[in-house]
Amino acid sequence: MRDALTLVVLAALWGASFLFMRVATPAFGPFALVWLRLALAGAILVPLIVWQGGAPAWRANARPIFVVGVINSALPFCLISWATLTLPAGIASVLNATTPLMTALWAMPLAGERLSAQRLAGLGLGLAGVAVLAMGKIDGSAAGVLPVLAMLAATASYGLAAHYARRELTGVPPLIVSGGSLASTSLLLAPLALWTWPATMPGVVEWGVVLALAALSTALAYLLYYRLIASLGATRASAVTYLIPLFGVLWGAWLLGEPVGLSMLAGAALILAGVGFLQYKRLANIGRTGAEKAGS
């Protein structure tokens, strides 16, 4: 019961990140916002790394941790923040659910996995979902298409990061990877943040949203995710992927008044169905494991 509650809370926090970016990006700009998110979250997690004696492991793996920070945090966060300047938070969260699809695509050149009929069906459903989701939301111009492409580029970066981390950082505690990557990558974005710093100081509400984004949707979310991995294993903890779009849409509709139309629901259903096809064997194993525990 506690793990199920943690899973829901984590999905709510990550779903809320799109709401936070939708509110704060116009005030700060993408680079300044992402830098604040990385730096503040890193400031929360780095003391935990030091407290747990993880500094030597961080130094020994500094280069791959930095690379993971670039392709799993700095680059996708900037792309998503820029996209949310025009994309509703709900749509951005649904597009973010294409991450497993992108991970599967990267698996072919990087891990030598074959494109089976099941995998092809999953990718096809996911792409169809993106197309349906875009219907009525973009006008075909560059201004309409580019935010969607930015979201897809962000999820492609997430997918690449997963394979890189699996190859280069196996055995390194997740807290060290995440806290180290957030802190070190914030240094990379600092010059861009200062260069694009808003001429007018954002208000109290926007600063509060930034703090919530860094503390709740980044630092606390990572800690909850580690707890789930330790308790359930990485496979079952990944079920959070299916809940994030639900909360992203709910937060956007409730707090920002974003409409929830048929195309959004249909697109979300197709994307999640595609992810389900790709994850079918894993989900079946989870179900069998749960049944065995219930019967023991």
Is residue 272 over pLDDT 50?
yes
The overall average pLDDT reported for the chain is: 84
Q: Say how many domains are in the chain.
A: 1
d(CA 182, CA 38) in angstroms, rounded, equals: 5
Interatomic CA distance for residues 150 and 134, integer angstroms: 13
How far apart are the C-alpha atoms of 274 and 18, rounded to whole Å? Answer: 22
Count of alpha carbons within 13 angstroms of residue 238, beta-carbon side: 16
Question: What confidence score (pLDDT) does residue 290 get?
Answer: 45
Residue with tokens 């169905």: 273
Would you say 268 and 128 are in contact if contact means Cβ atoms under 8 Å apart? no
pLDDT digit string (tens) for 59-75?
A: 999 999 999 999 999 99
Q: With CA atoms as reference, report the closest residue to 181 among 76, 64, 79.
A: 64
Element (H, E) at 218: none
Report the alpha-carbon distance of residue 140 to residue 220 in Å, rounded.
38
Q: What is the mean pLDDT of residues 219-240?
A: 75
Q: How many CB atoms lie under 10 A from the CB of residue 99?
A: 21
Residue 281, classed as helix, strand or coil, is: helix
Section 108-119 average pLDDT: 75
Q: How many CB atoms are located within 10 Å of the residue 247 CB?
A: 24
- Contact of 34 with 82, CB cutoff 8 Å: no
- Which pLDDT belongs to residue 117? 77
Band of residue 236 on the pLDDT scale cut at 50, 70, 90? low
Residue 229 burial (10 A CB sphere; 0-12, 13-18, 19+): middle
- Domain holding 191, by residue range, is 1-295
Phi, psi of 115 (to 5 degrees): -85, 85
Q: Tens of pLDDT along 5-26?
A: 888 899 899 999 999 999 999 9
Tell me: the pLDDT tens digits for 168-209?
998 889 899 989 999 999 999 999 999 999 999 999 999 999
Over the stretch 208-218, which tens digit does the pLDDT of each residue have?
999 999 999 99
Number of neighbouring beta carbons within 10 Å of residue 58 = 22
The number of beta carbons lying within 10 Å of the beta carbon of residue 109 is: 9
Q: How far apart are CA 56 and CA 20, in angstroms?
A: 34
- For the segment 144-172, what is each residue's pLDDT rounded down to a tens digit? 789 999 999 999 998 899 889 888 998 88
- Token pair for residue 86? 């025009």
pLDDT for position 287:
45
Range with top average pLDDT, 103-107, 132-136, 139-143: 103-107
Give the rounded percent of residues in the chain with a pLDDT score beyond 70.
85
Q: What is the pTM of this model?
A: 0.85
- Lowest mean pLDDT segment, chosen from 86-90, 117-121, 122-126, 237-241: 237-241
Helix extents (H) in the chain? 2-28, 30-51, 55-60, 62-69, 75-83, 89-96, 99-111, 117-134, 142-168, 174-195, 204-214, 221-232, 234-237, 240-256, 262-278, 280-295
